[in-house]
Amino acid sequence: MQSPSQKSHARVKAVIAILLTFTAGIVDIVGYMTVYHLFVAHMTGATVHLGNKFEIGAWPDVARAFVIIASFVAGSVAGRAVIEAGARGRNRTVASMTMAAEALLVLAFVRIGAAVLKQSTPETIPVGISCLLLGLLAAAMGLQTATLTRIGPLTIHTTFVTGMLNKLAQEGARWLFWIHDSWRENGNIIGFIGNSRKQTSFRNAAFMGTIWFSYAVGSIAGTWMDSRWKIAALYLPVCILLASIVVDQLQPLSLEEEKDQI
């Protein structure tokens, strides 16, 4: 049984997780439209792209896909290393460090990308520069992946939603079986549907669905903002990251993540 303070902390983390997922949707789609139509938070797609281009010998495309994957992994490893260091040093606000680093990477992308796009289109950016830009955003997404991975017993991902949809399906199935079993015992299915909010499986499924929805809304917002402000649309994710840092200073966000490392 969670205490009131634990429940309050879990709610704060849930809100931040939703906001970070929203920012990931923006970063992913703006990066896609800005640099050679490649996603920076979708490693399954990047891996398939790498294999496809490798087979046909399109080496510049192979390089871009490889940089995305390597940068994402490097960012994730760096993020976990920071969490580990925070656990050893009893630093309760270690998430601020990873989010600050993520914000700096996104800002670097904006500054470099804005200069490059004055002279090139997304399709004509030189291979080396496009690899640098893609690497910056992929590393930022890797850092974010490592920053917030737990809300109580739930494992979450704020930069890719395939796992979240799978978890939604699992929890949704448990909820449906709960309704089935309750109906067989009492026959009042309407009443049990109304009481679903009290069921852990239903609440978990609803939260996973919200994570997915936040990513989708982020991609919609990112597309709209890119059509008006181009690469400057990424200032919004930076502002959200800065606000999340303030929250972390008040209510540390990576407590469960640090406990995993002790």
The C-alpha atoms of residue 59 and residue 54 are separated, in whole angstroms, by: 7
Residues 24-73 have pLDDT tens digits of: 999 999 999 998 889 999 899 999 999 999 999 999 999 999 999 999 99
- Contact status, residue 260 vs residue 150, Cβ threshold 8 Å: yes
182 pLDDT tier (thresholds 50, 70, 90)? confident
Q: How many helices (H) and strands (E) does the chain have?
A: 10, 2
Query: 155 pairs with which residues across the strands?
Result: 150
Residues 133-157 have pLDDT tens digits of: 999 999 999 999 999 888 877 888 8
Q: Which of 201, 157, 210, 164 is nearest to 182 (CA)?
A: 201
Residues 96-115 have pLDDT tens digits of: 999 999 999 999 999 999 99
84 pLDDT tier (thresholds 50, 70, 90)? confident
Residues 201-227 have pLDDT tens digits of: 888 999 999 999 999 999 999 999 999
Give the DSSP letter of residue 124: G
* Rounded percentage of the chain residues whose pLDDT exceeds 70: 92
| Whether the predicted pLDDT of 89 surpasses 90 | no
The C-alpha atoms of residue 27 and residue 234 are separated, in whole angstroms, by: 7
| Whether the predicted pLDDT of 1 surpasses 90 | no
Question: Strand 150-151 relative to strand 154-155: parallel, antiparallel, unpaired?
Answer: antiparallel
